[in-house]
Chain A
Amino acid sequence: MFRNFLTVVVLLGVAATPLMAQTPVPLELKSVRLDLPDSDKMFPAGPGSDAINNNCLACHSAGMVLNQPAMSKQAWEAEVNKMINNYKAPIAPEDVGTIVAYLTALKGVK
Protein backbone atom coordinates (compact mmCIF):
# COMPACT_ATOMS: atom_id res chain seq x y z
CA MET A 1 0.00 0.00 0.00
CA PHE A 2 2.68 2.45 1.05
CA ARG A 3 4.77 1.52 -1.94
CA ASN A 4 1.78 2.11 -4.25
CA PHE A 5 1.17 5.51 -2.71
CA LEU A 6 4.76 6.51 -3.41
CA THR A 7 4.44 5.43 -7.02
CA VAL A 8 1.37 7.60 -7.44
CA VAL A 9 3.13 10.62 -5.96
CA VAL A 10 6.15 10.14 -8.20
CA LEU A 11 3.99 9.74 -11.31
CA LEU A 12 1.95 12.82 -10.44
CA GLY A 13 5.14 14.76 -9.92
CA VAL A 14 6.44 13.75 -13.31
CA ALA A 15 3.16 14.44 -15.04
CA ALA A 16 2.65 17.86 -13.48
CA THR A 17 6.15 19.16 -14.02
CA PRO A 18 7.54 17.89 -17.29
CA LEU A 19 10.06 20.69 -17.50
CA MET A 20 9.98 23.14 -14.64
CA ALA A 21 10.31 21.84 -11.12
CA GLN A 22 8.46 23.59 -8.32
CA THR A 23 10.81 24.75 -5.61
CA PRO A 24 9.17 25.09 -2.22
CA VAL A 25 11.67 27.19 -0.28
CA PRO A 26 11.94 30.84 -1.29
CA LEU A 27 15.37 32.37 -1.06
CA GLU A 28 16.17 35.39 1.12
CA LEU A 29 17.80 37.99 -1.10
CA LYS A 30 20.45 40.16 0.52
CA SER A 31 21.19 43.77 -0.44
CA VAL A 32 24.39 44.31 -2.39
CA ARG A 33 26.75 47.25 -2.30
CA LEU A 34 30.08 47.00 -4.07
CA ASP A 35 32.45 48.73 -6.45
CA LEU A 36 33.21 47.69 -10.00
CA PRO A 37 36.83 48.05 -11.11
CA ASP A 38 37.74 50.78 -13.56
CA SER A 39 40.30 50.50 -16.29
CA ASP A 40 43.76 52.01 -16.00
CA LYS A 41 44.46 51.69 -19.70
CA MET A 42 44.96 54.64 -22.06
CA PHE A 43 45.45 54.39 -25.81
CA PRO A 44 49.13 54.12 -26.82
CA ALA A 45 50.62 57.59 -27.31
CA GLY A 46 50.86 58.76 -30.91
CA PRO A 47 49.29 61.19 -33.36
CA GLY A 48 45.60 61.42 -32.39
CA SER A 49 45.86 59.59 -29.06
CA ASP A 50 44.55 62.67 -27.20
CA ALA A 51 41.49 62.76 -29.43
CA ILE A 52 40.66 59.09 -28.91
CA ASN A 53 41.36 59.22 -25.15
CA ASN A 54 39.18 62.30 -24.72
CA ASN A 55 36.29 61.19 -26.91
CA CYS A 56 35.99 57.45 -26.35
CA LEU A 57 36.90 56.54 -22.76
CA ALA A 58 33.83 58.11 -21.16
CA CYS A 59 31.64 55.28 -22.41
CA HIS A 60 34.04 52.32 -22.63
CA SER A 61 37.53 51.32 -21.63
CA ALA A 62 40.34 51.16 -24.17
CA GLY A 63 40.78 47.39 -23.95
CA MET A 64 37.70 46.76 -26.08
CA VAL A 65 39.27 48.66 -28.97
CA LEU A 66 42.77 47.26 -28.47
CA ASN A 67 41.33 43.71 -28.60
CA GLN A 68 39.80 44.30 -32.04
CA PRO A 69 41.32 42.62 -35.12
CA ALA A 70 43.09 44.62 -37.81
CA MET A 71 40.50 46.31 -40.03
CA SER A 72 40.44 48.54 -43.09
CA LYS A 73 40.09 52.31 -42.86
CA GLN A 74 36.51 52.00 -44.14
CA ALA A 75 35.69 49.48 -41.40
CA TRP A 76 37.14 51.77 -38.70
CA GLU A 77 35.22 54.70 -40.16
CA ALA A 78 32.03 52.64 -39.97
CA GLU A 79 32.76 51.80 -36.33
CA VAL A 80 33.34 55.42 -35.33
CA ASN A 81 30.20 56.51 -37.21
CA LYS A 82 28.22 53.74 -35.50
CA MET A 83 29.34 55.13 -32.13
CA ILE A 84 28.18 58.62 -33.18
CA ASN A 85 24.95 57.77 -35.00
CA ASN A 86 23.67 54.74 -33.09
CA TYR A 87 25.16 55.27 -29.65
CA LYS A 88 25.15 59.09 -29.67
CA ALA A 89 28.82 59.47 -28.78
CA PRO A 90 29.39 63.27 -28.47
CA ILE A 91 32.45 63.33 -30.71
CA ALA A 92 33.36 66.72 -32.18
CA PRO A 93 33.17 66.55 -35.99
CA GLU A 94 36.77 67.79 -36.28
CA ASP A 95 37.98 64.82 -34.20
CA VAL A 96 36.37 62.09 -36.32
CA GLY A 97 39.07 62.04 -39.01
CA THR A 98 41.82 62.10 -36.38
CA ILE A 99 40.32 59.13 -34.51
CA VAL A 100 39.84 57.09 -37.70
CA ALA A 101 43.43 57.86 -38.74
CA TYR A 102 44.72 56.84 -35.29
CA LEU A 103 42.81 53.53 -35.40
CA THR A 104 43.89 52.79 -38.95
CA ALA A 105 47.54 53.47 -38.03
CA LEU A 106 47.31 51.34 -34.88
CA LYS A 107 45.08 48.53 -36.11
CA GLY A 108 44.76 48.87 -39.86
CA VAL A 109 45.04 46.02 -42.33
CA LYS A 110 48.75 45.78 -43.08
Chain B
Amino acid sequence: MAERGALRGLITRRRLLAAATAAGAALSRPAWAQKMIDLPLPGGPGARQITTAFPQKGAMILQRTRPPLLETPFEVFDKRTFTPNDQFYVRWHWALIPTDIDTDKFTLTVRGHVDQPLSMSLKDILRELPSVELPAVNQCSGNSRGFFQPRVPGGEWSNGAMGNARWTGVRLKDVLDKAGVKPGAVQVRFKGLEEPVVAEAPPFMKSLDIDHARDGEVMIAYAMNGEQLPLVNGFPLRLVVPGWYATYWVKMLSDIEVLNQPDTNYWTKVAYTIPDTPHASIKPGETGVKMVPVNRMVPRSFVTNMASGSKVNAAAPTTLRGIAFGGDCGVTSVDFSIDRGQSWYQAELGKDEGKYGFRRWQTQLLLPTPGEYSLLIRCTNSNGVAQPDTPNWNPAGFMRNVTESIDIVAV
Protein backbone atom coordinates (compact mmCIF):
# COMPACT_ATOMS: atom_id res chain seq x y z
CA MET B 1 0.00 0.00 0.00
CA ALA B 2 1.36 3.41 -0.92
CA GLU B 3 1.58 5.96 1.85
CA ARG B 4 -0.84 8.80 1.28
CA GLY B 5 -1.26 12.10 3.03
CA ALA B 6 0.86 12.81 6.06
CA LEU B 7 0.47 9.99 8.51
CA ARG B 8 2.50 10.89 11.53
CA GLY B 9 4.39 8.73 13.95
CA LEU B 10 3.45 5.37 12.55
CA ILE B 11 3.37 3.92 9.09
CA THR B 12 0.25 2.06 8.11
CA ARG B 13 2.05 -0.91 6.60
CA ARG B 14 4.24 -1.36 9.65
CA ARG B 15 1.23 -1.09 11.91
CA LEU B 16 -0.60 -3.74 9.95
CA LEU B 17 2.39 -6.10 10.05
CA ALA B 18 2.71 -5.63 13.80
CA ALA B 19 -1.01 -6.20 14.25
CA ALA B 20 -0.81 -9.37 12.14
CA THR B 21 2.03 -10.70 14.32
CA ALA B 22 0.06 -9.90 17.45
CA ALA B 23 -2.96 -11.66 15.96
CA GLY B 24 -0.85 -14.77 15.58
CA ALA B 25 0.09 -14.58 19.25
CA ALA B 26 -3.55 -14.05 20.21
CA LEU B 27 -4.62 -17.16 18.32
CA SER B 28 -2.24 -19.32 20.32
CA ARG B 29 -3.83 -18.12 23.57
CA PRO B 30 -6.52 -20.40 25.01
CA ALA B 31 -10.05 -19.18 24.34
CA TRP B 32 -10.92 -18.94 28.05
CA ALA B 33 -8.22 -16.32 28.56
CA GLN B 34 -10.61 -13.75 27.09
CA LYS B 35 -13.17 -12.70 29.66
CA MET B 36 -16.26 -11.18 28.07
CA ILE B 37 -19.23 -9.10 29.19
CA ASP B 38 -22.57 -8.66 27.42
CA LEU B 39 -23.86 -5.08 27.59
CA PRO B 40 -27.68 -4.93 27.23
CA LEU B 41 -27.64 -2.54 24.24
CA PRO B 42 -30.87 -2.64 22.20
CA GLY B 43 -30.26 -4.45 18.92
CA GLY B 44 -26.64 -5.23 19.92
CA PRO B 45 -23.87 -5.95 19.52
CA GLY B 46 -23.30 -6.01 23.27
CA ALA B 47 -20.35 -8.39 23.62
CA ARG B 48 -17.20 -6.68 24.86
CA GLN B 49 -13.89 -7.97 26.10
CA ILE B 50 -12.83 -7.30 29.68
CA THR B 51 -9.25 -6.12 29.37
CA THR B 52 -6.43 -5.84 31.89
CA ALA B 53 -3.90 -4.95 29.18
CA PHE B 54 -3.68 -1.23 29.87
CA PRO B 55 -0.84 -0.05 32.12
CA GLN B 56 -1.91 1.42 35.48
CA LYS B 57 -5.44 0.08 34.89
CA GLY B 58 -7.36 -2.86 36.28
CA ALA B 59 -10.25 -4.74 34.65
CA MET B 60 -12.00 -2.49 32.12
CA ILE B 61 -14.62 -2.97 29.41
CA LEU B 62 -12.80 -2.65 26.08
CA GLN B 63 -14.72 -0.35 23.74
CA ARG B 64 -11.72 0.51 21.56
CA THR B 65 -8.01 -0.26 21.87
CA ARG B 66 -6.56 2.64 19.91
CA PRO B 67 -7.11 5.42 20.78
CA PRO B 68 -8.30 3.90 24.07
CA LEU B 69 -11.97 3.87 25.05
CA LEU B 70 -12.30 1.93 28.30
CA GLU B 71 -15.53 1.69 30.26
CA THR B 72 -15.83 1.20 34.02
CA PRO B 73 -17.55 -2.12 34.85
CA PHE B 74 -20.77 -1.08 36.60
CA GLU B 75 -20.24 -3.18 39.76
CA VAL B 76 -17.38 -0.81 40.65
CA PHE B 77 -19.97 1.87 41.46
CA ASP B 78 -21.56 -0.36 44.09
CA LYS B 79 -18.33 -0.80 46.02
CA ARG B 80 -17.02 2.73 46.38
CA THR B 81 -18.28 6.32 46.32
CA PHE B 82 -14.98 7.35 44.76
CA THR B 83 -14.17 5.42 41.61
CA PRO B 84 -10.70 3.87 41.95
CA ASN B 85 -8.14 5.35 39.55
CA ASP B 86 -7.34 1.97 38.05
CA GLN B 87 -10.96 1.46 37.02
CA PHE B 88 -11.84 5.04 36.10
CA TYR B 89 -13.13 5.17 32.52
CA VAL B 90 -10.87 6.35 29.68
CA ARG B 91 -11.70 8.23 26.49
CA TRP B 92 -9.21 9.61 23.93
CA HIS B 93 -9.84 11.29 20.59
CA TRP B 94 -6.48 10.98 18.80
CA ALA B 95 -4.10 8.04 18.61
CA LEU B 96 -0.75 9.75 19.21
CA ILE B 97 -0.60 9.84 22.99
CA PRO B 98 2.79 10.43 24.63
CA THR B 99 3.77 7.43 26.75
CA ASP B 100 6.97 8.89 28.17
CA ILE B 101 6.43 11.89 30.45
CA ASP B 102 9.43 13.31 32.31
CA THR B 103 8.15 15.35 35.24
CA ASP B 104 11.31 17.51 35.21
CA LYS B 105 10.80 18.50 31.57
CA PHE B 106 7.01 18.84 31.28
CA THR B 107 5.76 22.42 31.00
CA LEU B 108 2.40 24.13 30.94
CA THR B 109 2.33 27.27 28.82
CA VAL B 110 -0.07 30.15 29.32
CA ARG B 111 -0.17 32.57 26.40
CA GLY B 112 -2.35 34.69 24.16
CA HIS B 113 -4.21 37.71 25.48
CA VAL B 114 -2.15 38.00 28.69
CA ASP B 115 0.34 40.49 30.17
CA GLN B 116 3.00 37.91 30.87
CA PRO B 117 3.14 34.59 28.95
CA LEU B 118 4.18 31.75 31.26
CA SER B 119 5.95 28.45 30.95
CA MET B 120 5.40 26.63 34.23
CA SER B 121 7.12 23.44 35.33
CA LEU B 122 5.28 20.90 37.44
CA LYS B 123 7.41 22.04 40.39
CA ASP B 124 6.25 25.64 39.84
CA ILE B 125 2.63 24.53 39.79
CA LEU B 126 2.88 22.32 42.86
CA ARG B 127 4.93 24.73 44.98
CA GLU B 128 4.00 28.25 43.95
CA LEU B 129 0.23 28.07 43.87
CA PRO B 130 -2.24 27.18 46.63
CA SER B 131 -3.47 23.61 46.42
CA VAL B 132 -7.20 22.87 46.39
CA GLU B 133 -9.26 19.71 46.48
CA LEU B 134 -12.71 18.99 45.07
CA PRO B 135 -14.79 15.83 44.67
CA ALA B 136 -16.46 15.81 41.26
CA VAL B 137 -18.08 13.51 38.74
CA ASN B 138 -16.44 13.28 35.35
CA GLN B 139 -18.91 12.00 32.78
CA CYS B 140 -18.58 11.60 29.02
CA SER B 141 -21.19 13.58 27.04
CA GLY B 142 -22.03 10.28 25.35
CA ASN B 143 -22.28 8.13 28.47
CA SER B 144 -25.09 5.56 27.89
CA ARG B 145 -25.11 6.30 24.12
CA GLY B 146 -25.61 2.58 23.45
CA PHE B 147 -29.13 2.83 24.91
CA PHE B 148 -30.32 5.44 22.40
CA GLN B 149 -33.17 4.28 20.18
CA PRO B 150 -32.89 4.55 17.26
CA ARG B 151 -29.22 3.74 17.80
CA VAL B 152 -26.60 6.34 16.84
CA PRO B 153 -22.93 5.93 15.83
CA GLY B 154 -20.14 6.70 18.30
CA GLY B 155 -18.59 5.09 21.36
CA GLU B 156 -21.26 2.51 22.21
CA TRP B 157 -21.08 2.96 25.97
CA SER B 158 -23.27 1.39 28.56
CA ASN B 159 -23.59 3.47 31.79
CA GLY B 160 -19.92 3.29 32.80
CA ALA B 161 -18.42 6.27 30.95
CA MET B 162 -18.42 8.18 34.21
CA GLY B 163 -16.53 8.28 37.49
CA ASN B 164 -16.24 10.22 40.70
CA ALA B 165 -12.88 11.33 42.07
CA ARG B 166 -11.39 13.65 44.63
CA TRP B 167 -9.36 16.02 42.44
CA THR B 168 -6.33 17.84 43.83
CA GLY B 169 -4.66 20.68 42.01
CA VAL B 170 -4.58 24.43 41.58
CA ARG B 171 -7.27 26.90 40.63
CA LEU B 172 -7.25 27.85 36.96
CA LYS B 173 -8.01 31.38 38.17
CA ASP B 174 -4.70 31.50 40.05
CA VAL B 175 -2.77 30.41 36.96
CA LEU B 176 -4.56 32.98 34.78
CA ASP B 177 -3.99 35.72 37.38
CA LYS B 178 -0.28 34.90 37.41
CA ALA B 179 -0.16 35.53 33.65
CA GLY B 180 -2.47 38.56 33.93
CA VAL B 181 -5.52 38.39 31.67
CA LYS B 182 -5.75 41.51 29.49
CA PRO B 183 -9.01 43.43 29.17
CA GLY B 184 -11.04 42.19 26.22
CA ALA B 185 -10.40 38.48 26.80
CA VAL B 186 -13.49 36.43 25.92
CA GLN B 187 -12.52 32.76 26.11
CA VAL B 188 -9.72 30.49 27.25
CA ARG B 189 -8.66 27.58 25.04
CA PHE B 190 -7.09 24.38 26.35
CA LYS B 191 -4.93 21.85 24.55
CA GLY B 192 -3.25 18.66 25.69
CA LEU B 193 -0.37 16.58 24.33
CA GLU B 194 -2.41 14.13 22.20
CA GLU B 195 -2.00 14.57 18.45
CA PRO B 196 -3.85 13.22 15.43
CA VAL B 197 -2.09 10.66 13.21
CA VAL B 198 -3.01 12.76 10.17
CA ALA B 199 -1.17 16.07 10.45
CA GLU B 200 -3.97 18.09 8.79
CA ALA B 201 -6.61 16.84 11.23
CA PRO B 202 -7.87 19.31 13.85
CA PRO B 203 -5.88 19.08 17.11
CA PHE B 204 -8.12 18.46 20.13
CA MET B 205 -8.83 21.78 21.87
CA LYS B 206 -11.71 22.98 24.04
CA SER B 207 -12.65 26.44 25.27
CA LEU B 208 -14.48 27.97 28.20
CA ASP B 209 -15.83 31.50 28.52
CA ILE B 210 -13.46 33.78 30.42
CA ASP B 211 -15.82 34.23 33.39
CA HIS B 212 -16.27 30.48 33.71
CA ALA B 213 -12.50 29.93 33.49
CA ARG B 214 -12.02 32.48 36.30
CA ASP B 215 -14.86 31.30 38.57
CA GLY B 216 -12.44 29.80 41.11
CA GLU B 217 -13.93 26.31 40.73
CA VAL B 218 -12.36 25.24 37.45
CA MET B 219 -9.04 23.70 38.38
CA ILE B 220 -5.94 22.06 36.98
CA ALA B 221 -5.63 18.71 38.72
CA TYR B 222 -2.34 16.88 39.31
CA ALA B 223 -3.90 14.19 41.48
CA MET B 224 -7.06 12.13 41.64
CA ASN B 225 -8.01 10.27 44.79
CA GLY B 226 -4.72 11.30 46.38
CA GLU B 227 -2.44 9.89 43.70
CA GLN B 228 -0.99 11.13 40.44
CA LEU B 229 -3.29 10.48 37.48
CA PRO B 230 -2.87 7.26 35.48
CA LEU B 231 -1.33 8.21 32.13
CA VAL B 232 -4.48 7.31 30.22
CA ASN B 233 -6.55 9.51 32.54
CA GLY B 234 -4.42 12.54 31.62
CA PHE B 235 -1.14 12.49 33.57
CA PRO B 236 0.36 14.81 34.61
CA LEU B 237 -2.26 17.61 34.45
CA ARG B 238 -5.95 17.52 33.67
CA LEU B 239 -8.46 20.35 33.52
CA VAL B 240 -11.35 19.82 35.96
CA VAL B 241 -14.58 21.61 35.06
CA PRO B 242 -17.02 20.76 37.89
CA GLY B 243 -20.58 20.13 36.74
CA TRP B 244 -19.68 20.14 33.04
CA TYR B 245 -19.31 17.20 30.69
CA ALA B 246 -15.90 15.56 30.43
CA THR B 247 -15.17 16.85 26.92
CA TYR B 248 -13.96 20.03 28.65
CA TRP B 249 -11.71 18.16 31.09
CA VAL B 250 -8.67 18.29 28.77
CA LYS B 251 -6.14 15.55 29.52
CA MET B 252 -2.33 15.97 29.54
CA LEU B 253 -3.06 19.71 29.61
CA SER B 254 -0.01 21.53 28.23
CA ASP B 255 -1.26 24.74 26.65
CA ILE B 256 -3.64 27.47 27.80
CA GLU B 257 -4.41 30.26 25.36
CA VAL B 258 -6.41 33.32 26.36
CA LEU B 259 -8.48 34.48 23.37
CA ASN B 260 -9.85 37.93 22.57
CA GLN B 261 -12.27 36.42 20.04
CA PRO B 262 -14.64 33.46 20.32
CA ASP B 263 -13.01 30.11 19.59
CA THR B 264 -14.00 28.72 16.20
CA ASN B 265 -11.95 25.52 16.31
CA TYR B 266 -13.67 22.30 15.22
CA TRP B 267 -13.87 20.66 18.65
CA THR B 268 -15.55 23.65 20.26
CA LYS B 269 -17.75 24.89 17.44
CA VAL B 270 -18.73 21.82 15.41
CA ALA B 271 -18.11 18.66 17.44
CA TYR B 272 -19.77 18.16 20.80
CA THR B 273 -22.80 20.28 19.97
CA ILE B 274 -26.37 19.56 21.07
CA PRO B 275 -29.78 20.75 19.89
CA ASP B 276 -30.76 23.94 21.75
CA THR B 277 -34.00 22.29 22.93
CA PRO B 278 -35.29 20.92 26.28
CA HIS B 279 -33.16 17.87 27.23
CA ALA B 280 -31.16 18.45 24.01
CA SER B 281 -33.83 16.31 22.42
CA ILE B 282 -35.19 16.24 18.87
CA LYS B 283 -37.11 13.76 16.75
CA PRO B 284 -34.94 11.38 14.70
CA GLY B 285 -34.47 12.94 11.27
CA GLU B 286 -35.45 16.45 12.42
CA THR B 287 -33.24 19.09 10.76
CA GLY B 288 -32.68 22.83 10.90
CA VAL B 289 -32.29 22.85 14.68
CA LYS B 290 -30.02 25.40 16.34
CA MET B 291 -26.99 23.63 17.80
CA VAL B 292 -24.98 24.81 20.83
CA PRO B 293 -21.89 23.39 22.57
CA VAL B 294 -22.71 20.68 25.14
CA ASN B 295 -22.26 22.21 28.59
CA ARG B 296 -23.71 21.55 32.07
CA MET B 297 -24.52 18.04 33.24
CA VAL B 298 -28.01 16.96 34.25
CA PRO B 299 -29.12 14.78 37.19
CA ARG B 300 -28.84 10.98 37.11
CA SER B 301 -29.32 8.08 39.51
CA PHE B 302 -28.63 4.37 39.28
CA VAL B 303 -29.29 1.21 41.26
CA THR B 304 -25.92 -0.44 41.84
CA ASN B 305 -26.75 -3.62 43.79
CA MET B 306 -29.33 -5.10 41.40
CA ALA B 307 -29.83 -5.29 37.68
CA SER B 308 -32.79 -6.21 35.49
CA GLY B 309 -33.62 -9.86 36.04
CA SER B 310 -32.76 -9.84 39.78
CA LYS B 311 -35.01 -11.94 42.03
CA VAL B 312 -36.07 -10.84 45.52
CA ASN B 313 -38.35 -12.32 48.16
CA ALA B 314 -41.91 -10.97 48.14
CA ALA B 315 -43.23 -9.39 51.35
CA ALA B 316 -39.72 -9.28 52.82
CA PRO B 317 -37.51 -6.21 53.07
CA THR B 318 -34.70 -6.03 50.51
CA THR B 319 -31.93 -3.45 50.53
CA LEU B 320 -31.86 -1.34 47.39
CA ARG B 321 -28.93 1.02 46.97
CA GLY B 322 -27.13 3.09 44.41
CA ILE B 323 -25.57 6.37 43.41
CA ALA B 324 -26.91 9.70 42.22
CA PHE B 325 -25.50 13.02 41.13
CA GLY B 326 -27.16 16.35 40.54
CA GLY B 327 -25.19 17.27 37.42
CA ASP B 328 -24.25 20.92 37.85
CA CYS B 329 -25.39 21.08 41.50
CA GLY B 330 -26.12 18.84 44.48
CA VAL B 331 -28.71 16.11 45.03
CA THR B 332 -31.93 17.04 46.85
CA SER B 333 -33.68 13.70 46.69
CA VAL B 334 -33.66 10.26 45.15
CA ASP B 335 -37.11 8.72 44.79
CA PHE B 336 -38.23 5.31 43.68
CA SER B 337 -41.49 3.84 42.46
CA ILE B 338 -42.70 0.25 42.19
CA ASP B 339 -45.97 1.09 40.41
CA ARG B 340 -44.72 2.70 37.18
CA GLY B 341 -44.55 6.16 38.65
CA GLN B 342 -48.00 6.45 40.28
CA SER B 343 -46.51 6.76 43.75
CA TRP B 344 -42.98 7.70 44.73
CA TYR B 345 -41.00 7.04 47.92
CA GLN B 346 -37.92 8.86 49.09
CA ALA B 347 -34.68 6.92 49.52
CA GLU B 348 -32.27 7.76 52.32
CA LEU B 349 -29.30 9.84 51.14
CA GLY B 350 -25.76 9.00 52.20
CA LYS B 351 -22.99 11.39 53.20
CA ASP B 352 -22.72 14.60 51.20
CA GLU B 353 -19.12 14.58 49.88
CA GLY B 354 -19.59 17.79 47.89
CA LYS B 355 -22.22 18.98 45.48
CA TYR B 356 -20.39 17.85 42.33
CA GLY B 357 -19.73 14.29 43.50
CA PHE B 358 -21.65 11.03 43.66
CA ARG B 359 -24.18 10.81 46.49
CA ARG B 360 -24.96 7.34 47.74
CA TRP B 361 -28.55 6.41 48.49
CA GLN B 362 -30.23 3.41 50.08
CA THR B 363 -33.69 2.17 50.97
CA GLN B 364 -35.53 -0.89 52.20
CA LEU B 365 -37.73 -2.20 49.45
CA LEU B 366 -40.86 -4.22 50.21
CA LEU B 367 -42.61 -5.80 47.23
CA PRO B 368 -46.03 -6.86 48.62
CA THR B 369 -46.88 -9.83 46.41
CA PRO B 370 -45.02 -12.17 44.04
CA GLY B 371 -44.81 -10.95 40.49
CA GLU B 372 -42.83 -8.78 38.08
CA TYR B 373 -42.04 -5.22 39.04
CA SER B 374 -40.59 -2.36 37.04
CA LEU B 375 -38.65 -0.26 39.47
CA LEU B 376 -38.06 3.42 38.70
CA ILE B 377 -35.31 5.56 40.29
CA ARG B 378 -35.29 9.33 39.91
CA CYS B 379 -32.92 12.03 41.14
CA THR B 380 -34.02 15.61 41.75
CA ASN B 381 -31.16 18.08 42.03
CA SER B 382 -30.83 21.15 44.22
CA ASN B 383 -31.93 23.39 41.34
CA GLY B 384 -35.23 21.48 41.38
CA VAL B 385 -34.47 19.65 38.14
CA ALA B 386 -35.63 16.02 38.06
CA GLN B 387 -34.74 13.26 35.63
CA PRO B 388 -37.31 13.13 32.81
CA ASP B 389 -39.59 10.10 32.40
CA THR B 390 -38.97 9.76 28.66
CA PRO B 391 -35.55 9.29 27.01
CA ASN B 392 -34.07 12.17 25.03
CA TRP B 393 -32.74 11.66 21.50
CA ASN B 394 -30.16 13.52 19.44
CA PRO B 395 -27.91 12.31 16.59
CA ALA B 396 -24.70 12.40 18.67
CA GLY B 397 -26.13 10.40 21.56
CA PHE B 398 -25.41 13.05 24.19
CA MET B 399 -26.87 13.83 27.63
CA ARG B 400 -28.96 10.75 28.30
CA ASN B 401 -30.54 11.09 31.74
CA VAL B 402 -33.95 9.43 31.55
CA THR B 403 -35.28 8.03 34.85
CA GLU B 404 -33.67 4.59 35.07
CA SER B 405 -35.77 1.49 35.38
CA ILE B 406 -34.93 -2.10 36.27
CA ASP B 407 -37.21 -5.10 35.99
CA ILE B 408 -37.13 -7.35 39.03
CA VAL B 409 -39.11 -10.40 40.06
CA ALA B 410 -40.55 -10.95 43.54
CA VAL B 411 -40.90 -14.65 44.36
A residues lining the B interface (CB < 8 Å)? 19-24, 26-27, 29-42, 53-54, 57-61, 63-64, 66-71, 75, 79, 86-90, 92
Write the nearest CB–CB distance from A100 to chain B, whole angstroms: 13
- Residues A32 and B231 in contact, CB atoms below 8 Å apart: yes
- Report the tally of A-B residue pairs with Cβ distances under 8 A: 168
- Check B23–A41 contact: CB distance below 8 A: yes
For the complex, give the distance between the alpha carbons of A36 and B98 in Å: 10
Is B201 a contact partner of A87 (Cβ separation < 8 A)? yes
Interface contact A61-B20, CB-CB below 8 Å: no
* B22 and A38 contact, CB distance less than 8 A: yes
Query: Interface size of B by Cβ–Cβ distance < 8 Å?
Result: 80
Q: Cβ of B156 < 8 Å from any Cβ of A? A: yes
Say yes or no: A57 contacts B16, CB within 8 Å: yes
Partner of B63, one of A64, A75, A86: A64
Q: Is B262 close to A, CB under 8 A?
A: no
By beta carbon, the residue of chain A nearest B12 is: A58
Decide if B134 is an interface residue (CB 8 Å cutoff): yes
Contacts of A69 in B (CB 8 A): 41, 43-45, 146, 151, 153, 156
- Supposing A42-B20, A88-B200, A90-B198 touch, asked if A67 and B101 sit within 8 A by C-beta, the answer is no
Is there contact, CB below 8 Å, between A38 and B18? Answer: yes
Complex: how many Å from CA A70 to CA B12? 27
In the complex, A26 Cα to B129 Cα: how many Å?
10
- Do B228 and A30 touch (CB < 8 A)? yes
- The answer for the CA separation of A19 and B266 in the assembled complex, in Å, is 34
How distant is B102 from chain A, measured CB to nearest CB, in Å? 5
- In this complex, which of A33, A54, A64 has the most chain B Cβ atoms within 10 angstroms of its Cβ? A64
Contact B65 A37 (CB under 8 A): yes
Question: Is there an interface contact between B22 and A40, defined as CB atoms closer than 8 Å?
Answer: yes
Write the nearest CB–CB distance from A67 to chain B, whole angstroms: 5
Taken residue by residue from 45 to 61, chain B's Cβ proximity to chain A (1 for < 8 Å, 0 otherwise) reads as 10010010111100000
Taking the complex as formed, is B127 at the interface, i.e. its CB lies under 8 A from any CB of chain A? Answer: yes
B196 interfacial by beta-carbon distance below 8 Å: yes
What are 8 residue pairs bridging A and B, where the CB atoms are less than 8 Å apart in the complex? A20-B171, A22-B130, A23-B132, A32-B235, A34-B99, A42-B20, A67-B63, A90-B198
Which residue of the partner chain, among B7, B53, B101, B217, contacts A19 with CB atoms under 8 Å?
B217
Tell whether, in the assembled complex, residue A20 and residue B217 are in contact, meaning their CB atoms are under 8 Å apart: yes
CA distance A54 to B20 in the complex (A): 13
Report the nearest A residue to B68, measured CB to CB.
Answer: A36
B236: interface (CB < 8 Å): yes
Chain B residues at the A interface, C-beta cutoff of 8 Å: 1, 4-7, 10, 12, 15-16, 18-20, 22-23, 25-26, 41, 43-45, 48, 51, 53-56, 62-69, 95, 97, 99-104, 122, 126-127, 130-134, 146, 151, 153, 155-156, 168, 171, 196-198, 200-202, 216-217, 219, 222-223, 226-228, 231-232, 235-236, 266, 270-271, 354-355
CB distance from A88 to the nearest CB of B (A): 4
| A34 lies within 8 A of B55 (CB) | yes
A29 vs B133: C-alpha distance in the bound complex, in angstroms? Answer: 16
Flag if B20 contacts A22 (CB, 8 Å): no
**Bound state CA distance, A31 and B15, in angstroms?**
27
Minimum distance in angstroms from A90 CB to a CB of chain B: 3
Q: Provided the pairs A36-B232, A90-B7 are in contact, do residues A64 and B69 lie with their beta carbons within 8 angstroms?
A: yes
A35 and B97 CA atoms in complex are apart in Å by: 10
Question: Across the interface, do A57 and B19 meet the contact criterion of CB distance under 8 Å?
Answer: yes
B134, closest chain A residue (CB): A20
Contact B55 A29 (CB under 8 A): no
Separation in Å of the B165 CB from the closest CB of chain A?
Answer: 14
A23 B104 Cβ-Cβ under 8 A: no
Known contacts A20-B133, A29-B236, A38-B65; A67 and B19 CB within 8 A of each other: no
CB distance B7 to A58 under 8 Å? yes
- Contact of B19 with A39 in the complex, beta carbons under 8 Å: yes
A29-B132 Cα distance, complex, nearest whole Å: 16
Q: Which 7 residue pairs are nearest across A and B when measured between Cβ atoms? A: A90-B5, A69-B151, A40-B22, A39-B65, A64-B64, A34-B55, A88-B201
A64 to B93 Cα, complex, angstroms: 12
Give, as a whole number of angstroms, the nearest-CB distance from B147 to chain A. Answer: 11
How far, in angstroms, from A89 to B151 measured CA to CA in the complex?
Answer: 24
Contact A58 B197 (CB under 8 A): yes
